[in-house]
A and B are shown apart, each in its own frame.
Chain A
Amino acid sequence: MKSSWYRQIGAVMRLELRKAFLSKRGWWIYCLALGPVLLTLIHWLVFRSASISKDIESHRHMSHSLGEDSLVFAALFMFYYLRAGIFFGCMGIFSNLFRGEMLEKTLHYYFLTPMRREMLVAGKYLSGLVVALVLFGGSVTASFYLLGRHFGPAWTDYLFHGPGLHQLGSYALVTALASIGYGAVFLMCGLFFKNPMIPAAVVWVWENLEPFLPAVLKKISVIFYLKNLCPVEVPIPPPFNVIVVEADPSPFWIAVPGLLMVAGILLVYSAISARHTEISYGE
């Protein structure tokens, strides 16, 4: 019988998704994704209770504009989601796709199926991507919605008749691109390094140094392209603003295909390497 590759990829994805979503070991990834949702939920509840109690003084004290909340979300997205949540979440999800199997001594079960290793890499990567998109895409959407929820009809109007939905779409796109890019990086790290934490730490430091890097070096960081796709610019607070190096943002038509292409190259390289990967559980 001819191999039906789509069925094989589907089988890998089913198995991986079951393991990923039901895994107790992934609790910290759920925490990374749910943390901001919890914060924005509390924000909504506090402001809602203040408006219900009609405590004018405290309401006046706490009041802020919709634009300010939009800026708060931009900062949350830039400094939490991109630089920590999605980064570490992808590290946990993707680097374990192969390294986790090696640690648990279960990779040979996959290698003993009549699948081309390239298909196995694709299946595992896609399942990791689904997990990352569900967790972090869901988290970004929920946080965005909850942050402005207390504005009531003004928020609904902002979402559906103002720039809200476009902003949310942009954040979702950046989340997806970040998952695609970091996913490819960490899948490769899991294949090549016994301890993917070390390359992850190097990548993280590099990504966080990006604002201070010269313009040429900025362009070899994922976050540079992602930052430019965010709909709201976050001003860098003093004293860091004086050491930030400005660089021309990459246009959309370069940033998106460029990131996808880099992720594609990393995945192809991982797939070729997987063909030569041997089972060595260190015994």
Chain B
Amino acid sequence: MSEAATTITFSNVSRFYGEVLGINKVSLAIPAGITSLVGPNGSGKTTLMNLMTGLIRPTQGEIRVLGVEPDHPEKLCRMVGYCAQFDAFPRGMTGYQFIYSFLRMYGWSNQECDQRTAASLQMAGLQDAANRPVAAYSKGMRQRVKLAQAIAHDPRVVILDEPLNGLDPLARAEAIALFRQWGDQGRHVIVSSHILHEVDRISDQVILLSQGYVVAEGQIHSVRSEVKEQPMQIEVRCDRPSMLASRLFQQDHVVEAKVSPDGKGLLLRTKDADSFYLLLNKVILDSGLEVESIAPADDDVNSVYQYLIGAEGATV
């Protein structure tokens, strides 16, 4: 299978709303797995999602979703499921009718639509509420029925705009597990979220957007290592943090080292993580330092977001 048929590609795509910029000159290749779109309000996340699903068209540039142009809904929408941010439903429908009615538009038989509806409602944990009007659902249930509707046709690409909004912690955990499962199955799962620590937990790769531009994209570790101007933070749990700190201060690349209040850890900031790891190995060999754990302390979406975009719009 060609690469074009397995990725979602944006080639120099711009979208303007009159004179207002939606996104500008975006070029991306999104592989399978979970991709998170991160950025403050108005950064272009929803524009990007609407472009992928053909709900809006680019002012310039070209988009291909697994090789298909988004202005062919008859092909695209068999592969793509989109849970949009709008909390609106056709009037007077039950959860079952809502999913079933739109499945019928795929041209499937009653029986097939019925089976798919039941399966998706079960996946969303709404089988008991299936025959209640959607208007009587709680916000969390409405969010779940939208998710169920978006994936009822078993799409290869699942696009979810703020899917965790309105979900209680348990439902959130269940939804995240579901996204993980879809990602592991080789689907493209594209999620936008403000909740950075959850984005961090689920994402295979991130796309950081700010004011219509892609600021960074890729796996979060690679994105973090690209941010050279911000020293890396590393936390070392060991038996003699003060001794380690004294050795580290002799190095030019170490900007800061702080012993933790419990006296069993050291938080340091270094401009050259590779040199630090080499030095640490040497210290262990020379002095018999017992190291319990070493972990990057700012190798996450939240830190990268703060470094590249700033505090505006972040919800941690």
Interface, chain A (partner B; CB < 8 A): 1-5, 7-8, 10-12, 14-15, 18-19, 22-23, 104-106, 108-117, 275-276, 278-281
A111: B residues at CB distance < 8 A: 54-55, 73
B91: A residues at CB distance < 8 A: 19, 23, 104
How far is B108's CA from A116's CA once the two chains are assembled, in angstroms?
A: 16
B88 and A104 form a contact (CB under 8 A):
yes
- Min CB distance B290 to A, Å, is 57
B105 and A12 form a contact (CB under 8 A):
yes
Contacts A104-B88, A108-B84, A114-B73 known; A278 to B56 CB distance under 8 Å? yes
How far is B107's CA from A38's CA once the two chains are assembled, in angstroms?
A: 42
**Nearest chain-A residue to B77 (Cβ)?**
A114
Q: Using a CB-CB cutoff of 8 Å, which residues 73-105 of chain B contact chain A? A: 73-78, 80-82, 84, 86, 88-92, 101-102, 104-105
**A3-B74, A10-B104 provided; 12 other pairs, C-beta below 8 A?**
A7-B104, A8-B105, A14-B101, A23-B91, A105-B88, A108-B55, A112-B53, A112-B73, A112-B82, A112-B102, A114-B74, A276-B57
**A-B CB contact pairs (8 Å), 20 listed:** A1-B108, A3-B106, A3-B107, A7-B108, A8-B104, A8-B106, A8-B107, A11-B104, A22-B92, A106-B89, A109-B90, A109-B149, A112-B55, A113-B102, A114-B105, A115-B74, A115-B105, A279-B50, A279-B55, A281-B86
- Min CB distance B49 to A, Å, is 11
Is B71 engaged at the interface, CB distance under 8 Å to the other chain? yes
**Nearest chain-A residue to B88 (Cβ)?**
A105
B105 and A113 form a contact (CB under 8 A):
yes
**Nearest chain-A residue to B81 (Cβ)?**
A112
B105: A residues at CB distance < 8 A: 8, 11-12, 110, 113-115
- Min CB distance B120 to A, Å, is 14
- Min CB distance B86 to A, Å, is 5
How far is B200's CA from A112's CA once the two chains are assembled, in angstroms?
A: 29
Interface size class for chain B? 20 to 34
Interface, chain B (partner A; CB < 8 A): 50, 53-57, 71, 73-78, 80-82, 84, 86, 88-92, 101-102, 104-108, 149
Q: Which of B86, B104, B108 contacts A108 (CB 8 A)?
A: B86
How far is B90's CA from A18's CA once the two chains are assembled, in angstroms?
A: 11
Q: Which of B56, B71, B76, B101 contacts A279 (CB 8 A)?
A: B56
B86 and A278 form a contact (CB under 8 A):
no
B106: A residues at CB distance < 8 A: 3, 8, 113-114
- Min CB distance A122 to B, Å, is 13
Q: Which of B50, B56, B78, B90 contacts A114 (CB 8 A)?
A: B78
- Min CB distance B5 to A, Å, is 18
- Min CB distance B259 to A, Å, is 50
How far is B219's CA from A21's CA once the two chains are assembled, in angstroms?
A: 52
Closest CB pairs A-B (n = 9)? A11-B104, A105-B88, A113-B105, A114-B77, A279-B55, A4-B107, A7-B107, A278-B56, A105-B86
How far is B55's CA from A93's CA once the two chains are assembled, in angstroms?
A: 25
A11: B residues at CB distance < 8 A: 101, 104-105, 107
**Nearest chain-A residue to B17 (Cβ)?**
A280
Interface centre among A15, A109, A279, by most chain B C-beta atoms within 10 angstroms, is A109
Q: Which of B74, B81, B86 contacts A116 (CB 8 A)?
A: B74
Q: Which of B53, B78, B90 contacts A15 (CB 8 A)?
A: B90
How far is B53's CA from A281's CA once the two chains are assembled, in angstroms?
A: 16
B56: A residues at CB distance < 8 A: 278-280
A23 and B54 form a contact (CB under 8 A):
no
B57: A residues at CB distance < 8 A: 276, 278
How far is B104's CA from A245's CA once the two chains are assembled, in angstroms?
A: 52
B55 and A278 form a contact (CB under 8 A):
yes
A1 and B107 form a contact (CB under 8 A):
yes
How far is B84's CA from A110's CA once the two chains are assembled, in angstroms?
A: 13
A19 and B107 form a contact (CB under 8 A):
no
**Nearest chain-A residue to B86 (Cβ)?**
A105
- Min CB distance A42 to B, Å, is 33
Interface centre among B50, B54, B74, B108, by most chain A C-beta atoms within 10 angstroms, is B74
Q: Which of A105, A109, A278, A280 contacts B102 (CB 8 A)?
A: A109
B104: A residues at CB distance < 8 A: 7-8, 10-11, 14-15
B82: A residues at CB distance < 8 A: 108, 112
**Nearest chain-A residue to B159 (Cβ)?**
A112
A105: B residues at CB distance < 8 A: 86, 88
